[in-house]
Chain A
Amino acid sequence: MTLLASVRPDDWDLPLFLHVLGAMALVGSLVLVVLALVSARRGDSAAGLRLAYRSLLFGVIPSWILMRVGAQWIASKEGLDDLDEPPAWVDIGFLTSEPTLLLLIAATVCAGMAARRAREGGGRAFGGLNTATLVLVTISLLAYVLAIWAMSTKPS
């Protein structure tokens, strides 16, 4: 696999670039959401929740799409999507990415509702919606660390 990485065909580079770029923006945006939610609990809840919601809507979801489109493109180039039994690291990638989209959509809805309530003055920084968003985002982040491990170590 080390050799494979060093002699990768040139036409795999663009899909791999888009996949990694999407993944980096995805994880970066998710950590920003966590930081904004923690900040909302400690101080300015309206600003923190607004930042968390916008990060999810304009950062996390588009990044997920870029990461996933890049993943499918590179898998197609490598012929991994035609295999009856794909390698474990490919399975781990799909198993961590697809279910987490649902978590991320749910987190976006929760953060949007929490931000709206905070703006209208009725939201509490420690409310259930904030906690739900934090839990959903944290689970997704942990799944992505597992995916990064699988992509880099390529367990068979």
Chain B
Amino acid sequence: MSSLSLNDSLSNVAVIGAAGKMGRGIALLLLQECISCDLENKRVQPSKLFLIDCSSDGLGTLRQYLDAQMLRYAERNIGLLRKWYEQRSDLIDNSEIINAFINDARARIHTTSDFSQLSNCHMVFEAVFEKLELKSNIYSELKTVCPQDCYFFTNTSSIPISIINHDNELNGRIIGFHFYNPPAVQKLVELISMPENSSEFIELSYELIKRLGKIIIPSNDIAGFIGNGHFIREGLYYLRQAESMKSTLEEALCQINEITEKIMIRPMGIFQLIDYVGLDVFKMICTTMEAYIEEDFNNEVLDTLLTRGVRGGQFGNGSQKDGFFKYEKGRPIAVYSITTSSYVDFSAIQPSECPPKSWKELSRDRAADSYLSQYFDVLKKSTDTKAQLAVSYLKNSRKIARDLLENNVANDIEHVNSVLKNGFYHLYGPENNFMGSWE
């Protein structure tokens, strides 16, 4: 096994699937780390960052993205850059130093579709589409090309890494990183290790994630891990709730979305979140979890929508595609009706109620906890139908969290809380003091 320090390991790194949504964010984080490591340590040999993707167009766009993002990084860290380049008497102005930095960053990037260039790679980050077969194909090739002591990091939100490890005989040289989207911005990384991983490898992974400026939450190697372990189960729960309600499905979807956003004070309602993630991605994770966990991850409404081509997810420019809801300027304005295969205007269904304090307001409020404490009390005592539903939803969320602990997905309930707070931007964890006495 490799005994290289993290700094040395960073001298030759690769990202597979670099042009993808997750890959490019990971590429950016690594580029920042590679170049700052070189400059900080005054390394003569520039580090190499191989960015691999099957799409050559995608690699072109990736370079533009990295240029633009590195410029932002340089501008934000100009003080550091001036220090790094203090010996360069030819670089005086901020603009000159920033240009030099961008050029130096570009010089570290090697875009290719050719795996054979990875023969000296110390760390390979793989962020291809979440399909076991695809991942396995890549690892079987990587194994033959990369050095014996190369570490592999797979970005996955659901596939157990022990399967990839076993199928490709990687002998514990693979570990799971679950970056949240977009990786360059989101602070949370779930680190999925397994007993076959060496302690050096795990330590190196911790050190690296920390250097990338992320919050690390360890998760055990059970499909879905903590983040999707909670999200997928919650999503399915609400879909089933919607189906069992007396009202029309459209009304139920709207009502549950409203309760989960406004009454539970979350950044967005559950069905809007599924739209954001993509119904297809949601379904894919369900399928993966179904394969490894004895539990029902099927849902008819979801399948029906997908067969009708309703997918959600984002356009290339980051705007929201239609899913459960139709969007205008990022806000849902209509809901999909299975009966008519079209979107029904929200206003035709129900007027939206005014929330007490919105998530946005409260997320900036330093006294949010004391507000929430009182708010939960009021909620618990309320006879309002929506409030009562919210209470049962909160209890369900807590049950899912407790089951994750029970089933050894999480080692600590605080890890579940942290994932929901840092990965999903909830203001409170599913296990919280506010509902301490609720049974």
Asked if A and B are interacting partners, one says no
Interface residues of B (CB under 8 A from A): none
